[in-house]
């Protein structure tokens, strides 16, 4: 008999599988609590569940929680964990702490099929979507010394290419019976798949970050192949017209590459594209993979962009590089996997 995997289910779904055996909603709540809040992979060890409920759980379900195969710590404290799927393929999770903030960067796919040539995950290939449970397990089962306050969907994979599991994982993250993480602290990133971005805006109240690379479509097409099918101008328009959650944070992730997309012409293009909107800009240093001759823009150049965007009325910030020495930085995930 196929057992139901609990991690990834909503409380209503957990109730649904137990109600015909005489269990109540408070039993479903207690079970969700042991999975999502306590992170208990073997529920027979729980002292909060009755003997009868534990027998039912053992017979009919699996927790779906499992530890990473390995973890690495960077010199700046960033931690990378590697999980292995049942089919042998891997995906990675990054955890960063700063002040009171602990952010987990989750993967949504093993590899990615968007094929962005500068990204090591894109070069790894595509080996499948992660389930909502596999996405959540990354937050529950990594080694943690402090509670997670923020989640970003910026690990391996294009979240919009696995939208149903991403929206469901967000639901469990936000729920009071789930991980209790504020929607304001959950950000999903995308290179932009028009229909799926619309679906995300409609179905989830979480933040959205759009990876732009260049304000000029011809240039963007060379580094982000999906630009051909899903023009960035359409994604920006969808973001500008989002009035479903007015306090949702909408941002552009702009990876800055020296001499490629950091000229004054690019700065003017960005200002023209975003002026008058509530979309903010996150300027991100470029992390070259092996054999890559490109380099990140200098800190001075990035601050020049930040300053000019800000005085044009566009909120902007410069993100710090983290975890480069363990290949945990943006664009480097999967760089240590076999091709």
Residues that bind ligand SF4 (CB under 6 A): 112, 114, 116, 119, 121-122, 157-158, 191
237 annotated active-site: no
- Closest-by-Cβ residue to ligand SF4 is 122
Q: Compute the least distance from the CB of residue 159 to ligand SF4, in Å.
A: 9
User: 7, 90, 92, 158: which is the annotated catalytic residue?
Assistant: 92
Q: Which of 7, 116, 170, 330 is catalytic?
A: 330
CB of 222 to ligand SF4, least distance (A): 13
- Strands 79-84, 90-98: parallel, antiparallel or unpaired by DSSP? antiparallel
* Residue recorded with tokens 């290939």: 125
- Can you tell me the distance from the alpha carbon of 209 to that of 172, in angstroms, rounded to the nearest whole number? 20
Looking at the Cβ atoms of 31 and 165, the one nearer to ligand SF4 is: 165
* Nearest to ligand SF4 of 18, 334 (CB atom): 334
Dihedral angle sign, alpha carbons of residues 244, 162, 255, 332? positive
Q: Other CB atoms closer than 10 Å to residue 220's CB: what's the count?
A: 22
Which residues make Cβ contacts (< 8 Å) with residue 93, sequence separation at least 6? Answer: 68, 80, 81, 83, 104, 105, 106, 107, 138, 139, 142, 155
Smallest gap from Cβ 183 to ligand SF4, in A, equals 23
Q: Indicate the residue among 157 and 323 with the shorter CB distance to ligand SF4.
A: 157
Q: Which is nearer to ligand SF4, 36 or 127 (CB)?
A: 127
Chain-centre distance of CA 126, in angstroms? 17
Q: Which of 182, 80, 196, 176 is closest to 129 using CA atoms?
A: 196
Reply yes or no on whether 158 is catalytic: no
In whole angstroms, how close is the CB of 20 to ligand SF4 at the nearest point? Answer: 42
Catalytic residues: 92, 330
């Amino acid at each position: 008999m196929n057992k139901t995997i609990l991690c990834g289910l909503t409380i209503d779904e957990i109730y649904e599988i137990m109600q015909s055996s005489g269990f109540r909603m408070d039993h479903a709540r207690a079970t969700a609590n042991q999975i999502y809040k306590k992170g208990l992979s073997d529920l027979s060890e729980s002292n909060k569940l009755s003997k009868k409920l534990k027998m039912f759980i053992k017979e009919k379900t699996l927790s779906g929680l499992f530890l990473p195969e390995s973890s690495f710590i960077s010199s700046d404290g960033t931690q990378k964990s590697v999980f292995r799927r049942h089919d042998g393929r891997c995906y990675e999770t990054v955890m960063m702490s700063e002040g009171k903030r602990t952010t987990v960067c989750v993967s949504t796919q093993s590899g990615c099929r968007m094929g962005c040539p500068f990204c090591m995950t894109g070069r790894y290939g595509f080996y499948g979507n992660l389930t909502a449970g596999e996405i959540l397990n990354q937050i529950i089962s990594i080694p943690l010394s402090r509670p997670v306050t923020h989640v970003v969907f910026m690990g391996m994979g294009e979240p919009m290419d696995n939208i149903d599991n991403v929206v469901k994982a967000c639901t469990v993250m936000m729920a009071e019976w789930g991980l209790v993480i504020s929607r304001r602290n959950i950000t999903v990133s995308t290179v932009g798949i028009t229909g799926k971005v619309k679906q995300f805006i409609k179905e989830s109240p979480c933040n959205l970050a759009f990876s732009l690379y260049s304000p000029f479509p011809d240039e963007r097409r060379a580094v982000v192949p999906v630009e051909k099918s899903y023009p960035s101008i359409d994604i920006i328009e969808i973001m500008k017209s989002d009035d479903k959650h007015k306090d949702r944070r909408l941002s552009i992730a702009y990876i800055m590459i020296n001499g490629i997309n950091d000229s004054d012409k690019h700065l003017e293009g960005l200002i023209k594209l975003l002026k008058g909107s509530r979309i903010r800009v996150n300027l991100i240093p470029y992390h070259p993979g092996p054999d890559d001759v490109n380099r990140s823009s200098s800190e001075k150049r990035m601050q020049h962009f930040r300053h000019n965007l800000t005085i044009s009325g566009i909120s902007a910030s410069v993100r710090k590089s983290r975890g480069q020495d363990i290949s945990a930085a943006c664009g480097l995930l999967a760089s240590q996997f076999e091709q």
